[in-house]
Amino acid sequence: MTQQRKAKRAIVAAVHLASVRELEFEASLAELRQLAKTLGFEVAGTFTQKRAGFDKTAYFGTGKREELKELILANRAKIILIDHEISPSQAFNLEKEVGCEVMDRTMVILEIFHRHARSRIARAQVEIARLGYMAPRLREAAKQAGPKDRARSGTGGRSGGESHGELDRRKIRDRIAELQTELDAMALGRHTQRARRQERQGLARVALVGYTNAGKSTLMRALTGSEALVADKLFATLDTTVRALHPETVPRVLVSDTVGFIKNLPHELVASFKSTLDEALEASLLVHVVDASDPGFERQLAVTDEVLDEIGAKAVPRLLVFNKIDRGGDEAALRSNYPGCIVMSARREADIAKLHQAIAASFQGDLVEAELFLPWAAQKMRGEVFATCKVLEERADGEGAFLRIRGEPETVKRLREQFRVRR
Ligand SMILES: Nc1nc2c(ncn2[C@@H]2O[C@H](COP(=O)(O)OP(=O)(O)OP(=O)(O)O)[C@@H](O)[C@H]2O)c(=O)[nH]1
Ligand SMILES: [Mg+2]
């Protein structure tokens, strides 16, 4: 992890295109400030320009670049964060003209993922994405540096000590291939583990998905009694964790927490996190968590829907959950605009119980009811019945106990074959 001794002063900057509404432009800038803070920068100022398009050479127009240079000097800023993905040559030219480091939105997000990645899988996925992003930029730097193979101390993402010779195109491609092979092997291991687990237990699956910071991990903890990482920063979670719904339900339901989404999630990341996001595809229910207190929640909701479509999860049933209602949001409007949604706060126990109930109920539609008769001689099987089914009613007579149960068809069939059934 990169150590930050003193917060680096940053300027957040963007071209405001005519096609982008004021509100949306401001929300995106606010989000970039939040991303900057997550990286440990101190945002010293904001710089914008209204323009019909991006300047081909250096993103901002000529006169504006002069203004930006002055703002940087006045604020003693060390880095400019651009709220778009810009080309390698635009970044290079802008850096040269304004005299400080330039990072675009994609690089900022990649850097956060890089710092937060913990598991081998997450690390490999982020590295593939970063290499894919860096390759054309290193080529551009090499081109600008001329024939001499000088190392460039430019954009923030590159680890030190690598010259262009070492990181040429072919080497990057080889490294990506190597990481991909590693990932495939790890994913295979996970798949067989998962397949085995599912075969054994036949569990129902739910995935928590949504925009970054919506409260997915908080709900994961509350719903499963687990210790998922919760943090008020963007992209706190990069690994998928899986836990059973607690208190346990019939059938047992497994819940997984997933990586958060964001506007303009770099396509490199979507591609490389595909295997992690496959968790979401395997689920039979997606719980889409939205921060109801965020004024830009509609946009965040739409972005999540887009990414879910992109990874092929369009057909998976959804439960829309508006969280953080204790912080704000119009509960009545949400209920009427999004029929069937849940409006709640992760801070309220009763709300968590309601969500727990809604998730469990969505899997109970497939259950069947039956009545079993357990002779007194077979009472040691009671444990199995109680563990695999919900016992709705119990009556005893001289010969044994009647149990009215509800469970998955296969379990119920097996139990009925084992025990005498009296209707
Ligand atoms: N007030 C309030 N805060 C909440 C609620 N739910 C979560 N939070 C806070 O929101 C912040 C983000 O929560 P997380 O659970 O880490 O969010 P996440 O969706 O997992 O975020 P990423 O892993 O970054 O995608 C934390 O500071 C939580 O304590 C809620 O219902 N009300
Ligand atoms: Mg999380």
Residue 203 CA to chain centroid, in angstroms? 23
Average pLDDT over residues 80-84: 97
Confidence band, pLDDT 50/70/90 cuts, at residue 163: low
Residues bordering ligand 2, an ion, CB closer than 5 Å: 216-217, 236-237
Q: Which atom of ligand 1 is nearest to the CA of 220?
A: 15
Q: Tell how far the Cα of 210 is from the centroid of ligand 2, in angstroms.
A: 10
Confidence band, pLDDT 50/70/90 cuts, at residue 342: very high
Residue 82 has pLDDT above 90, yes or no: yes
* pLDDT-above-90 percentage for the chain: 44
163 contacts 145 by C-beta, under 8 angstroms: no
Average pLDDT over residues 285-301: 93
C-alpha dihedral over 163, 165, 168, 173, to 10 degrees? -90
Residue 165 has pLDDT above 70, yes or no: no
Give the C-alpha distances (Å, rounded to integers) separating 136 from 65, 69, 139, 163: 24, 26, 5, 15
Give the C-alpha distances (Å, rounded to integers) separating 318 from 280, 287, 314: 11, 6, 9
Give the C-alpha distances (Å, rounded to integers) separating 278 from 207, 242, 273, 343: 10, 13, 8, 27
Tens-place pLDDT, residues 182-236: 988 887 776 666 665 554 445 688 999 999 999 999 999 999 987 766 766 666 6
Choose the residue to mutate in 115, 217, 321 for probing ligand 1, maximizing ligand atoms within 8 Å of C-beta.
Answer: 217
- Amino acid 423: pLDDT: 44
Least confident of 129-138, 200-209, 299-308: 200-209
Q: Tell how far the Cα of 236 is from the centroid of ligand 1, in angstroms.
A: 10
Confidence band, pLDDT 50/70/90 cuts, at residue 161: low
CA distance linking residue 240 with residue 208, whole number of Å:
10
* pLDDT-above-70 percentage for the chain: 85
- Amino acid 157: pLDDT: 47
- Amino acid 262: pLDDT: 84
**Residue 285, phi then psi, degrees to nearest 5:** -145, 130
- Amino acid 1: pLDDT: 47
- Amino acid 154: pLDDT: 47
Choose the residue to mutate in 218, 273, 293 for probing ligand 1, maximizing ligand atoms within 8 Å of C-beta.
Answer: 218
CA distance linking residue 42 with residue 10, whole number of Å:
6
Confidence band, pLDDT 50/70/90 cuts, at residue 95: very high
Choose the residue to mutate in 229, 230, 294, 307 for probing ligand 1, maximizing ligand atoms within 8 Å of C-beta.
Answer: 230
Q: Tell how far the Cα of 381 is from the centroid of ligand 1, in angstroms.
A: 43
- Amino acid 316: pLDDT: 85
**Residue 396, phi then psi, degrees to nearest 5:** -115, 150
Q: Which residue has the higher pLDDT, 312 or 281?
A: 312
Q: Tell how far the Cα of 291 is from the centroid of ligand 1, in angstroms.
A: 8
- Retrieve residue 239's tokens: 């690994």
- Amino acid 279: pLDDT: 61
**Ligand nearest to the Cα of 234, by number:** 1
Residue 53 has pLDDT above 50, yes or no: yes
Average pLDDT over residues 24-38: 92
Residue 349 has pLDDT above 80, yes or no: yes
Tens-place pLDDT, residues 358-408: 998 888 777 788 888 888 888 778 888 887 888 888 888 888 888 898 887
Average pLDDT over residues 159-179: 73
What's the residue count for the chain? 423
CA distance linking residue 260 with residue 188, whole number of Å:
24
Choose the residue to mutate in 34, 109, 209, 213 for probing ligand 1, maximizing ligand atoms within 8 Å of C-beta.
Answer: 213
Q: Which atom of ligand 1 is nearest to the CA of 323?
A: 31
Within 6 A (CB) of ligand 1 lie 212-218, 230-232, 234-237, 260, 323-324, 326-327, 345-347
CA distance linking residue 188 with residue 143, whole number of Å:
40
311 contacts 258 by C-beta, under 8 angstroms: no
Q: What is the mean pLDDT of the chain?
A: 84
Quickly count: other Cβ atoms within 10 Å of residue 240's Cβ: 22
Average pLDDT over residues 118-125: 84
C-alpha dihedral over 193, 197, 199, 205, to 10 degrees? -110
Confidence band, pLDDT 50/70/90 cuts, at residue 151: very low
Q: Which residue has the higher pLDDT, 422 or 262?
A: 262
**Ligand nearest to the Cα of 233, by number:** 1
251 contacts 203 by C-beta, under 8 angstroms: yes
Q: Tell how far the Cα of 289 is from the centroid of ligand 2, in angstroms.
A: 11
- Amino acid 204: pLDDT: 82
Q: Tell how far the Cα of 219 is from the centroid of ligand 1, in angstroms.
A: 8
Average pLDDT over residues 24-52: 94
- Amino acid 313: pLDDT: 85
- Amino acid 249: pLDDT: 81
Q: Which atom of ligand 1 is nearest to the CA of 235?
A: 24
